[in-house]
Structure 1
Amino acid sequence: MYIFVNGKIIDSGSPAIKVFDRGMVFGDGLYDVIKFQDGNFVFLEEHIERMKKSANFFGIKFPYTLDEICSIGHKLAMMNDLKEGELYLQLTRGVDVIRDHIFEDDYDPTFVEIVQPVRKMDPSIWTEGGKVLTYPDLRHQFCEHKTTDLLPNVIAKKYVRSKGAYEALMFREENGRKYITEGASSSYIFFDGEKIIAPKIENILPGITRSKVLYVARETGIEVVERRIWLDELPQMKEVMLLSTLSKVLSIVKVDEMEFKKGEVAKKLENAFKDLVISTLVKM
């Protein structure tokens, strides 16, 4: 597989990242994943803008323009003979002379671009619906940024997969009551029979798929409310939906031992989101 690292296209098996890269030793970096199909990126500009905002927040230089990233991605897709897949971007602060927590004010950032096949999903999940398990949210206070510091997410995902579930539904606790945040690599929304309820953005990622699905929900006349959702409210919900770049709009039929139906709202949003993607594809 061919990948792009710091201005060069190389084989993925070649040495590329230096030992003292701060992304490797401290998780001092950002990443994003963008779907592409038929030679087109999906919501590329929105993903890049979010990444740029996070880079600015952390004081990391952003070395490439939207057009340059697009051009590199196109070339990688051609070289790897892929018409559909995922574009992975990774940006770290750069390389230290020695390992040291304190960082300087001026680094040459490390930028990686990878085009790979779409990760496999069990096809039955689309017909039968997904199952998730609740899991404590053990992450840091920078979850509104897509950082490479993902160990708690990895552990959560590994745990639920070992139990036969598709994803974690993570929660935090306040004054003895638990509230829902997001998944290890996804967002959630809920339908209570009248409106869509989405966890408000409070130290959770403002997902691109999430924002687009909430947009099409409003466009189709469904009321949307963004607020804190308490875990003990789940039995009152009629539908549970998982959102992500990979999963798009996925009906969840079981949360722990609570069962839900694959509903018409999820199907409606799935179709509306699909139409939006087709209408807004950005040419590579």
Structure 2
Amino acid sequence: MWAFLDGDFVQEKSRVIQLENRGLTFADGLFEVIRTIEGRILFFEEHFSRMKKSAEFFNIEMRFTPEEVKKSALELIGRNSIEDGELYLELTRGTDPHREHRYPPKDTSSTFFMLALPLRRIDADNWKNGVKLFAYPDLRHKLCEHKTINLLPNVLAKNFAYANGGYEALMYREEDGMKFVTEGGSSNYFLVDNGIFLTPNVDNILPGITRGKVIEIIKKLGHRIIEKRVTVQEFLSAEEVFLVSTVSRVMPVKGIDEVTFKVRGRYTEEVMSAYEELFFSAR
């Protein structure tokens, strides 16, 4: 498999990133996962813009323009003969041979690489019959609006769900005895109650690209959507629940812990259909 590293195409197995890279030693970096299909990269501009804004926030140099990255990404997809896949982008602060907590000298070059991978396998039954969620405390830092590579809490949450036979974790933060839903290990959540859609507002959670597209769809369909702090109890009491992400797209939820929901309810079905139309026509 080919990879793209700092302006060159390299063989992924050549292991050309130095061990002292700050992405490895400090998780000092950012990433994006972008869906690709039939040689197209979906919503590339939105993903790249989010990474660039976060890079500016953390003062990490992005040495390539969006045009250069997209051109190289398309070549990478072609080199790896990816028909239906995922494009992974990672940007780190670069290599620091001394492993110093202090930022490296200003002339230190950042590291940027891309992988073009086949789409991970997801059971098609998940979209038909829904998936199970398990509530899990959100153990992350206070920089969740940025897609950093500090993903250990997400890994713990998702593997808790996997160990219990679930698909994803419904992460929450507790405040004054109330449990407020944030997001999943790699998903955003929506619920429907009395025809009104609710989704957790962007308060130390990632503003997901798919989340944004789905909010636009809900509005275009003429439904009311409220972004606010949403409790776990509100989710448990909902009529319909669904999750969204780059890879999962729009996926119905059939249960949270011991509570079950109507699957492929009217509103979820409507949003799924509209997103699929957008998905297969996007460039």
TM-score normalized with structure 1 length: 0.97
Q: Which residue of the partner structure matches residue 50 of structure 2? A: 50
Q: Which residue of the partner structure matches residue 112 of structure 1? A: 113
1:279, distance to aligned residue in structure 2 (A): 3.7
Q: Which residue of the partner structure matches residue 103 of structure 1? A: 103
1:15, distance to aligned residue in structure 2 (A): 2.0
8 Å contact 2:236–2:256 — kept in the other structure?
A: no
Give the counterpart of 1:272 among 267, 271, 274.
274
1:234, distance to aligned residue in structure 2 (A): 2.4
1:19, distance to aligned residue in structure 2 (A): 1.5
Give the secondary-structure state (helix, strand or coil) at the position aligned to 2:233: helix
Equivalent AA in structure 1 for residue 103 of structure 2: F
CA separation in 1, counterparts of 2:91 and 2:134? 31
Number of aligned positions between the proteins:
281
CA separation in 2, counterparts of 1:277 and 1:122? 19
8 Å contact 2:39–2:78 — kept in the other structure?
A: no
Give the secondary-structure state (helix, strand or coil) at the position aligned to 2:33: strand
1:38, distance to aligned residue in structure 2 (A): 1.3
CA separation in 1, counterparts of 2:198 and 2:178? 18
1:105, distance to aligned residue in structure 2 (A): 5.2
Equivalent AA in structure 2 for residue 206 of structure 1: P
Give the secondary-structure state (helix, strand or coil) at the position aligned to 1:87: strand
8 Å contact 2:132–2:254 — kept in the other structure?
A: yes
1:83, distance to aligned residue in structure 2 (A): 1.8
Give the secondary-structure state (helix, strand or coil) at the position aligned to 2:217: helix
Q: Which residue of the partner structure matches residue 38 of structure 1? A: 38
Q: Which residue of the partner structure matches residue 194 of structure 1? A: 195
Q: Which residue of the partner structure matches residue 238 of structure 1? A: 239
1:23, distance to aligned residue in structure 2 (A): 0.6
Structure 1 segments, 4+ long, off by >4 Å, are: none
Q: 1:89-142, CA deviations, whole angstroms, 9 ceiling, x for partnerless residues?
A: 000011112111111351201001110000111122122110010000000111
The 5 A counterparts of 1:1-284 are 1-104=1-104, 106=106, 107-262=108-263, 263-281=265-283
Equivalent AA in structure 2 for residue 213 of structure 1: V
Give the secondary-structure state (helix, strand or coil) at the position aligned to 1:126: helix
Equivalent AA in structure 2 for residue 11 of structure 1: Q
Equivalent AA in structure 1 for residue 61 of structure 2: K
CA separation in 2, counterparts of 1:131 and 1:265? 19
Structure 1: gaps of 5 or more residues: none
Structure 2: gaps of 5 or more residues: none
What RMSD, in angstroms, separates the aligned Cα atoms of the two structures?
1.0
CA separation in 2, counterparts of 1:84 and 1:131? 25
Q: 1:62-113, CA deviations, whole angstroms, 9 ceiling, x for partnerless residues?
A: 1111111111111111111112211100000111121111113512010011
CA separation in 1, counterparts of 2:269 and 2:69? 33
CA separation in 1, counterparts of 2:15 and 2:250? 38
Equivalent AA in structure 2 for residue 21 of structure 1: N
CA separation in 2, counterparts of 1:14 and 1:157? 30
8 Å contact 2:21–2:95 — kept in the other structure?
A: yes
Give the secondary-structure state (helix, strand or coil) at the position aligned to 2:153: helix
CA separation in 2, counterparts of 1:137 and 1:268? 30
TM-score normalized with structure 2 length: 0.97
